[in-house]
Each structure stands twice: as structure tokens, then as C-alpha cells.
Structure 1
Amino acid sequence: MSTYEMREIMQTYGDYLTRLSYVYVKNWTIAEDIVQDVFIKYFETRQFEGRASLKTYLAKMTIHKSCDHLRSFKNRIRILENLWNSMPSDSMPSTEQQTLKKLEQNSIANSVLQLPIKYREVIVLFYYEELTSLEIAALLDTSENTIKTRLRRGRALLKTSLSGLQLRGDFFE
């Protein structure tokens, strides 16, 4: 694989995979590291068989890597350290921090990020990435009925957490 092809793949899918990883890990720096690891593994192993699109294959790798990170002991220690050492920063916020702040200010996005992971991932993939329930089922290696159930339960949880806001009704239908 040429350097040009590698660059093209990274430019085409990098932002999408970073946003996808962020949905899981809720940290832009870690999400970027995970995506970098995914690209390295993809370019080193070249195990892509073409049974799905390259985007789906890389997304699945990213989801697995993000879940591995969430289960890791290192991540659990980092969360505890952040709780104990939460000190305000006097420096100028980075672009990622500004983006995160804007995202946190958005009530719907914030509520989605507070959902349990199994509901959060299907809500994000269905509404933000506009995948069908069948595509999500293939991506997450689960049945379509399970995806539909998670969507229904995720919507119910969101409706409860957002009950005080005036929202378009079609989101919850």
C-alpha cells in the first residue's frame, strides 16, 4: 500500500472514527490515540477481506478498541485521578476543549452522552451517523431486534431526561 493510499484512507475516515471513538471514551485525546492505533493495526495486518465496506470495518475496529480502553485498568485509574485532581486550568482552552464545551452545552448531546453505552451507541449510530437498524446490527454483531429494542429503550431514557425541554416530537417516535 502506497503512502498516498494510506493518507487518503486516514483523511477520508479519520474524523468520523475519532467522533465515533469519542462517543465511547468521552475524551478527544484518547479518541485520537485509539484511531491512530486502529490505523496502525489496519496498515500492519491488512486483514480486511472486503466483506463489508472499509468504513464499516474500521468503525468496528474503533468500537472494539474503544471498549477495550473503557475496560482497561489504566482508564479506571485515570478516571479516579481526574476526580481527585480536578483543578481549574488557567491556560487558554484548546480547540478540542472548546468543542467539548459546546457539545456539553447542547442538552440533547449531553443527555445522549449520559446514556449507558449500549443505548448511547445505537442512538448515535442511528440518529447522528444515519445508519439503519440492520447496518447497526451488522456493525455491532447483534440481532436487528436487539438494536430496535435498544433504540426504543434509549429513546425512553432520553425522553425522561429531556422532559423539561421543548423538542421536536419526531426524535422520540
Structure 2
Amino acid sequence: MGQLDWEEMGRDEQIEFLMDEYGEEIKRLVFTYVKDHSAAEDLTQEIFITIYLKLDSFAGKSSIKTWIYSIAINKCKDHLKSWHVRKMTVQENIKEFLKSNRRGPHDEVLEKFESEWIVNHVLKLAMPYREVILLYYYKHLSIKEVGEILAISESTVKVRLHRGREKLRKSLEQMERGEVNG
């Protein structure tokens, strides 16, 4: 879509376009933070309301995608800091995650073991490592884009990617040796 097309659209058309273009992607991103499908849907709605309200303030200094991701990540972090979320237990999150993944035949579950193991361990990483790994590997953003979204330098992104990969490698080695540390 050209700049002229965007400027000719009304605000309602712009938000509709952004929801069509980024809605599912943002919902999946939000889920990686909150690990709850219902909360991810609610937060995604809140994010697009915020985008709608702030659409006029988009200065074009970054791409619309990085601007939307920044809003989404900030909303997720605010949500995770809230009293309600702090009161939820890790056990409840795990139960919900397991329920959402019991949908396929036994063979399908076995085939996905390695992929699910990686996802589970990425989701267990501390937030600074988790978010750069998710944005870089799962959302296929460049190191520069990840830095813009998280408001950190490219070198910090690289360091966090390296440390996150090291933590995952150590977890994999422990699993291969039969050590289980949760």
C-alpha cells in the first residue's frame, strides 16, 4: 500500500486495514507474553483500541509494524505487572497451556514434541531473552527492528539473543542427560 493510499483512508478504514493485516500476528505475540488465550484476545482488543486512539500520533519514524509491536509489547508488560496477573500461579498457566494443546491424535503429539519442548523452554526464559528470541526467530524481525520495538540497542539485542540461545542449549543438554529441572 502506498503512502498516498494510507493518507486517503479515513481513520476507521486505517484501523480496519491494520486489524486485518496484523490482528492474528499481534494476538499470537500477546499470547507469548500472557500465556492465556482469553487474556490474549482481550489484550489484543485493547491494543487495537490504543492504536485507534493514537493513530494520529504515528510519526512515521519507524515502520507501522514496529510501532504496533511496540504498543503491543508495552501493553503486555503493563498487563503482566498488574496485581491480578501477579496473583495468578504458574501452575494455572501451565494447565491452560496443556488444555489448549490436547487436540491432535497421539502421533501428531509425538511429532511435535521437539518443537513444543523448544517453545515451552523459550516461554520459561526471563522476559529480556524470551522477547528477543520470539521477535527474532518466530516473528522473523531483523535485529534492528527488534531493537526499535524494545527501545534497546542492536548490540543489546545481539547479547540477549546469544544468552537466550545459551540458556536453551543448556536446557537441551540437561534433558539429553536425563536431568529434569522444570
TM-score class, shorter-chain normalisation, is 0.7 to 0.9
Do residues 127 (structure 1) and 141 (structure 2) align?
A: no
- Aligned in 2, Cα 1:137/1:80: closer, same or farther, shift over 3 Å? closer
For residues 64-90 of structure 1, the C-alpha deviation after alignment (integer angstroms, 9 at most, x for no partner) is 00000111111112338948xx7xxxx
Hey, what does 2:126 align to over in structure 1? Answer: 116
Q: What is the Cα-based RMSD across aligned positions, in Å? A: 2.7
Cα distance change on mapping 1:51 and 1:115 into 2, 3 Å: same
Change in Cα spacing, 1:56 to 1:149, as seen in structure 2 (3 Å) is same
Classify the secondary structure of the residue corresponding to 2:76. Answer: helix
Aligned residue runs from structure 1 range 6-85, under 5 A:
6-46=15-55, 47-79=57-89, 82=92
| Code of the aligned partner of 1:14 | G
Which residue does 1:156 correspond to in 2?
Answer: 166
List gaps (5 residues or longer) in structure 1.
87-92, 166-173
Q: 1:36 to 1:145 in 2, by over 3 A?
A: same
The 8 Å contact of residues 111 and 162 in structure 1, kept in 2 or not, is answered as: no
Unpaired segments ≥5 residues, structure 2: 1-9, 177-182
Separation (CA, whole Å) in 2 of partners of 1:81 and 1:149 = 31
- Judged with a 3 Å threshold, the aligned counterparts in structure 2 of structure 1 residues 17 and 141 are, in CA distance, closer, same or farther, namely same
Task: Report the CA distance shift for 1:75/1:149 in structure 2 as closer, same or farther (over 3 A).
Answer: same
TM-score with structure 2 length normalisation? 0.74
Shift of the 112–29 alpha-carbon distance from structure 1 to 2, 3 Å rule, reads same
- Does residue 146 (structure 1) correspond to residue 146 (structure 2)? The answer is no
